[in-house]
Amino acid sequence: MISKLFVQNVRSFEQFEREFVPGINVVGGPNGCGKTSILESIHLLTQGYSFRAKELSELIRWNTPELIMRAELECHGKKWSRGVSIGKRKSLVKENGENLRSVAAFFGKCPSVVMQPSDIELLRGAPEVRRRWLDEILCFRSAANVATLRQYKRVLQQRNQWLRQFKQDGAAVGGEDLLHVLTDQLVELGAKLWAARVSLSSDISPMITGYYRRLSGGVDEITCAYRSSIFRSPENAPACPDESQFLEMFEKKLVEMEKVEKILGMTMAGPHRDDLDLCISGYAMRSAGSQGQCRSAALAMRFAAADVANENLGKPILLLDDIFAELDLNRRDAVANLIREKGCQVVISTPEPEELPFKADSLVLIAK
């Protein structure tokens, strides 16, 4: 949980300081007053990245040289004091007085899960949106998964660089020997990543379907399954593929695709091209699901993420960015009940605190 937050020169805020209570903290105010920026700051200080910006310099208030964030956090009886100073050219990141290399080092100690209206992209968006969500939960499980993901992305980038150069020049630095070394590394790391993802998707699929059932009032059912790019269809995949099976199939697939990859200049198979299939009545939700169904499925995915975080790291902070405005009365009540059951600290932004389906333990109003 977070007990105290201080931000300076963050987006529209010149300065904001607030203490938070263990229960439900509501941040109210008109649209555009900076409510989401508070949630974004908490997310950055807990998860190590912004859920809105690719570059942290985007958070710096207009016409100011740097931003400052500080927070007091606690999880599993351990306490952390974190601080971030981000300038146009230089950044400083600290935890308990010690310098860290980057804000990414914050991840994995005091988790948070954000829920926002744009989460509908988890259903409507491209496969990379669902892969990113799945990988974040994967990292909740272990530091080994974090390392595997980073190494896979690095090797994939190097292999794609080789293939692009070959496409352009007909040859590449390091020659065919380097391609084979990079391919072997990619196969080994890809197999580990696949095994971890398949295990995770097997565990969270019933969570997602169960939460969706509650949020929809049992009116309809959804299914959730991991789809790998090395199998032509889910039906062709082994029932419970292990790491050795993925390694064998991935190696075979890359051998088959080598000529095509050299022509196109990119790696055409691997975990970076997979997807998580969510279906309703046998049809993909991204095309067949209604707005209400997709929003319920997205919330179900976020609640499943919260469960994985709780199981492996401790109770997460739930950051709710004005999610109730898009829900009908029944779904609002269902979400409120689930939040109460979780017993997590909640920080919720809303323009109308009086319309929330629960009472705030702490309320702060922000003027525009």
Q: What is the 3-state secondary structure (H, E, C) of 118-176?
A: HHHHHHHCCHHHHHHHHHHHHHHHCHHHHHHHHHHHHHHHHHHHHHHHHHHHCCCCCHH
For residues 295-305, average pLDDT? 95
What pLDDT, on a 0 to 100 scale, did the predictor assign at position 34? 86
100 with 136: CB under 8 angstroms? no
182 with 155: CB under 8 angstroms? yes
Pick the closest to residue 245 from 319, 190, 283 (CA basis). 190
Residue 300 lies in a domain: no
For residues 113-132, average pLDDT? 93
Residue 299 lies in a domain: no
**Alpha carbons 321 and 329: distance in angstroms, whole number:** 18
For residues 205-231, average pLDDT? 89
Residue 293 lies in a domain: no
For residues 61-83, average pLDDT? 91
CA distances from 7 to 20, 109, 129, 161, 259 (A): 14, 21, 29, 40, 53
Query: At residue 88, does pLDDT exceed 60?
Result: yes
Q: Are 262 and 327 contained in the same domain? A: no
Q: What is 274-323 written as a DSSP string? A: -EEEEEETTEEHHHH--HHHHHHHHHHHHHHHHHHHHHHT-PPEEEEES-
With vertex at residue 37, the alpha carbon angle to CA 34 and CA 43, rounded to the nearest 5 degrees, is 160
Q: Are 168 and 36 contained in the same domain? A: no
What pLDDT, on a 0 to 100 scale, did the predictor assign at position 38? 94
Q: Are 93 and 157 contained in the same domain? A: no
What pLDDT, on a 0 to 100 scale, did the predictor assign at position 232? 56
Residue 129 lies in a domain: yes
What pLDDT, on a 0 to 100 scale, did the predictor assign at position 358? 86
Question: Where in the sequence is the domain holding 199, given as residue range(s)?
Answer: 123-287
**What's the pLDDT band for 238 if we cut at 50, 70, 90?**
low
pLDDT in tens, 325-354: 888 888 899 999 999 999 999 999 999 888
Q: Are 28 and 127 contained in the same domain? A: no
For residues 163-188, average pLDDT? 93
Sequence-distant (≥ 6) Cβ neighbours of residue 362 within 8 angstroms: 20, 21, 23, 24, 25, 26
**Could you tell me what percentage of the chain is helix, strand and coil, using 3-state DSSP and rounding each to the nearest 5?**
50, 20, 25
Q: Are 242 and 281 contained in the same domain? A: yes
Q: Are 136 and 67 contained in the same domain? A: no
What pLDDT, on a 0 to 100 scale, did the predictor assign at position 240? 62
Q: CATH number of the domain that 24 lies in?
A: 3.40.50.300
Q: Are 100 and 143 contained in the same domain? A: no
Q: Are 140 and 271 contained in the same domain? A: yes
Mean pLDDT of the chain: 90
Residue 239 lies in a domain: yes
Residue 303 lies in a domain: no
What pLDDT, on a 0 to 100 scale, did the predictor assign at position 29? 87
The residue type at 135: D
Q: CATH number of the domain that 169 lies in?
A: 1.20.1050.90
Indicate the residue among 270, 287, 304 that finishes a domain: 287
pLDDT in tens, 242-278: 788 889 889 999 999 999 999 999 999 999 999 999 9
Query: At residue 100, does pLDDT exceed 90?
Result: yes
Q: Are 281 and 339 contained in the same domain? A: no
The helix or strand, by DSSP H or E, that contains position 251, with its residue range, turns out to be helix 243-264
Query: At residue 94, does pLDDT exceed 90?
Result: yes
Q: Are 105 and 127 contained in the same domain? A: no
Indicate the residue among 267, 287, 307 that finishes a domain: 287
Indicate the residue among 269, 287, 305 that finishes a domain: 287
pLDDT in tens, 162-175: 999 999 998 889 99
Q: Are 160 and 39 contained in the same domain? A: no
Q: How many domains does the chain have?
A: 2
